[in-house]
């Protein structure tokens, strides 16, 4: 930018002379013909120097000088007064008015150029010094940590905020040391990259750097920009301690992650509960079908007169037993609904004694499907951790299958027992029926999947898939073993309600049809 000079003289010839003297020196020249115009021009142009004639109409140069010096906007502009008065009294008055130098008319070209050059340079140095002082004041008072560094990380200046943030006391000031040494690992690598990019004139976006100094752990936001310094560049770094903000952000992210996990877990619980509810509905449909079929068949036979009157009483009794099974199933469902209403979770572990339940279920099922030579054996089973509804539905299906698929034997046998296991007692239902190929055991518990079995039985179907889903939904597991033509064994393990009992000498309850 060219230095600007305002020439104030009421004589056009004098203006032209001064323009001729200075026109080739690279200045931008402005002109005013009187004192009032000079004051107005000075405010608009903001010149680096004013050449002011003393002898002018209306207000003379002394008065113009005083007015300029009293104005806070233009009061610091250097003024060289040009006068024909060559006496000490005039010079003294000019100095009192605020003039910086004097030239006596007629001006000599070289002297004018030298005076103008000197005063303009001094003014430029003064402005630079004032700007530097203001910068140093702002630098010192800024609450933001600020450093000026070279490309190799050498710290030239660091304000007090930077010393507080990164310094290690008066014995180890930042200035004169290497900034990179105050960091380490990935943070040092990232800081070097920031400084190098800014020094090359291609500054990167600010970065978050994690710094550890002793027991102090900091997260610093660092921004770098280039500062021209002669033919080279320095790098200005502005730092911010964002440790608290980052900790809050990470805590929020962790909370969101945990909440998201809770939502997903709750969603899975709802899906499992819905699946369990569907299992209950399917069980109701499945388990009601058998007693209803028995009732309908027996009553139809009596109604149509297909059996002698003497035998009808037995059929009525069996139909009545079927109604008892349905009644018990409905009561269990109502109890389950009441438990849900009272806030009981479907997976709540309860203490149940299986022996009375499975014995009663066998008697009901045997009455519906009697066989004169069937043998039933039931061990003294330990308590298990599951609701009565679940236990009854599981063993109703397993005992029913055992009766069904061993019915063609001359001496069918159904055995219910228990095996010890560290994870909890393993209950089993064993029969000597048609059996199955153990290599296909995984297909047993698939919905709508049937196995080809010996004899004319229908194979295993939807009931086992419902049983397996119900057992799994209550934290248990189920599996099976079998031999074609020799029988099958189904194992069920529920969560234990407490310490494992001793299964060493379980009594046997034997029932003959």
Element (H, E) at 304: none
Q: Is the pLDDT of residue 394 over 60?
A: yes
What share of the chain in percent tops pLDDT 70?
A: 80
Query: Using one digit for the tens of pLDDT, what is the confidence trace for 316-373?
Result: 777 787 787 677 667 666 655 555 555 444 444 567 889 999 999 898 888 877 888 8
The pLDDT, as a whole number, for residue 508 is 40
Q: What rounded mean pLDDT belongs to the chain?
A: 79
The pLDDT, as a whole number, for residue 66 is 93
The arithmetic mean of pLDDT across residues 382-411, rounded, is 88
Interatomic CA distance for residues 25 and 19, integer angstroms = 10
The arithmetic mean of pLDDT across residues 71-85, rounded, is 87
The arithmetic mean of pLDDT across residues 423-439, rounded, is 91
Q: Minimum mean pLDDT among 103-112, 304-313, 389-398: which range?
A: 304-313
Which of these, 439, 435, 412, 444, lies nearest to 486 by C-alpha position? 435
The residue among 70 and 510 whose pLDDT is bigger is: 70
DSSP state of 167: -
| pLDDT interval class at 237 (50, 70, 90) | confident
Query: Using one digit for the tens of pLDDT, what is the confidence trace for 487-510?
Result: 999 999 988 775 444 433 333 434
| pLDDT interval class at 433 (50, 70, 90) | very high
Pick the most confident of 414-428, 432-446, 494-508. 414-428
| pLDDT interval class at 511 (50, 70, 90) | very low
Judged on CB neighbours under 10 Å (0-12, 13-18, 19+), 192 is middle
Q: How many helices (H) and strands (E) does the chain have?
A: 12, 18
Q: Minimum mean pLDDT among 84-93, 95-104, 138-147, 474-483: which range?
A: 138-147
| pLDDT interval class at 138 (50, 70, 90) | low
The alpha carbon of residue 334 and the mean position of all alpha carbons in its chain are separated, in whole angstroms, by: 44
The three-class DSSP label of residue 389 is helix
Q: Is the pLDDT of residue 285 over 80?
A: no
Query: Using one digit for the tens of pLDDT, what is the confidence trace for 25-60?
Result: 888 899 999 999 999 999 999 998 999 998 888 889
Q: Give yes or no for a contact between 155 and 179, defined as CB atoms under 8 angstroms apart.
A: yes
Domains assigned to the chain: 4-139 (3.40.50.2300), 143-241 (3.30.450.20), 334-512 (3.30.565.10)
Handedness of CA 355, 495, 500, 398 (dihedral sign): positive
Q: Give yes or no for a contact between 466 and 397, defined as CB atoms under 8 angstroms apart.
A: yes
Interatomic CA distance for residues 487 and 241, integer angstroms = 75
Interatomic CA distance for residues 178 and 247, integer angstroms = 28
Interacting residues of 488 by C-beta distance below 8 A, sequence separation 6+: 402, 405, 430, 431, 433, 434, 435, 436, 480, 481, 482
| pLDDT interval class at 89 (50, 70, 90) | confident
């Amino acid at each position: 930018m060219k230095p600007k000079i305002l020439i104030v003289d009421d004589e056009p010839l004098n203006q032209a002379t001064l323009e001729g003297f200075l026109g080739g020196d690279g200045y931008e020249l402005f002109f005013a013909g009187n004192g009032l115009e000079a004051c107005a021009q000075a405010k608009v142009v903001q010149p680096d120097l004013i050449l002011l004639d003393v002898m002018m109409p209306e207000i003379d140069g002394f008065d113009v000088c005083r007015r300029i010096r009293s104005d806070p906007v233009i009061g610091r502009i250097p003024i060289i007064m040009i006068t024909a008065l060559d006496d000490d009294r005039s010079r003294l008055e000019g100095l009192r008015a605020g003039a910086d130098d004097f030239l006596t008319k007629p001006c000599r070209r070289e002297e004018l150029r030298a005076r103008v050059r000197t005063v303009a340079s001094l003014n430029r140095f003064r402005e630079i010094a004032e700007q530097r002082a203001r910068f140093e004041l702002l630098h010192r008072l800024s609450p933001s940590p600020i450093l000026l560094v070279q490309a190799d990380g050498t710290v030239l200046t660091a304000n007090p905020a930077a010393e507080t943030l990164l310094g290690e006391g008066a014995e180890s000031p930042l200035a004169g040391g290497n900034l990179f040494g105050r960091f380490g690992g990935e943070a040092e690598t990232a800081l070097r990259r920031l400084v190098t990019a800014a020094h090359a004139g291609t500054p990167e976006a600010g970065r978050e750097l994690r710094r550890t100094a002793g027991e102090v752990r900091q997260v610093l936001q660092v921004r770098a920009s280039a500062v021209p310094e002669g033919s080279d560049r320095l790098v200005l770094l502005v730092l911010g301690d964002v440790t608290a903000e980052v900790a809050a952000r990470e805590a929020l992210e962790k909370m969101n992650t945990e909440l998201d996990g809770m939502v997903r877990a709750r969603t899975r619980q709802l899906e499992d509960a819905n699946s369990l509810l569907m299992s209950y509905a399917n069980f109701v449909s499945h388990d009601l079908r058998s007693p209803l079929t028995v009732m309908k068949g027996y009553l139809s036979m009596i109604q149509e007169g297909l059996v002698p009157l003497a035998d009808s009483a037995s059929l009525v009794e069996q139909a009545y037993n079927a109604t008892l099974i349905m009644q018990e199933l409905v009561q269990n469902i109502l109890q389950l609904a009441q438990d849900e209403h009272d806030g009981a979770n479907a997976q709540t572990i309860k203490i149940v004694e299986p022996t009375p339940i499975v014995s009663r279920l066998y008697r009901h099922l045997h009455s519906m499907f009697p066989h004169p030579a069937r043998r039933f054996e039931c061990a003294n089973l330990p308590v298990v951790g599951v609701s009565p509804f679940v236990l009854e539905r599981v063993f109703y299906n397993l005992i029913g299958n055992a009766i069904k698929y061993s019915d063609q034997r001359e001496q069918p046998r159904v055995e219910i027992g228990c095996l010890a296991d560290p994870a909890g007692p393993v209950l089993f239902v064993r029969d000597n029926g048609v059996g199955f190929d153990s290599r296909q055991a995984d297909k047993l518990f698939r919905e709508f999947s049937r196995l080809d079995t010996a004899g004319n039985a229908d194979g295993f179907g939807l009931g086992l898939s419902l049983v397996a889903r119900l057992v799994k939904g209550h934290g248990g597991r189920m599996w099976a073993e079998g031999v074609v033509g020799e029988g099958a064994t189904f194992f069920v393990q529920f969560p234990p309600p407490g310490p494992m009992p001793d299964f060493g000498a379980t009594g046997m309850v034997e029932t003959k049809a």
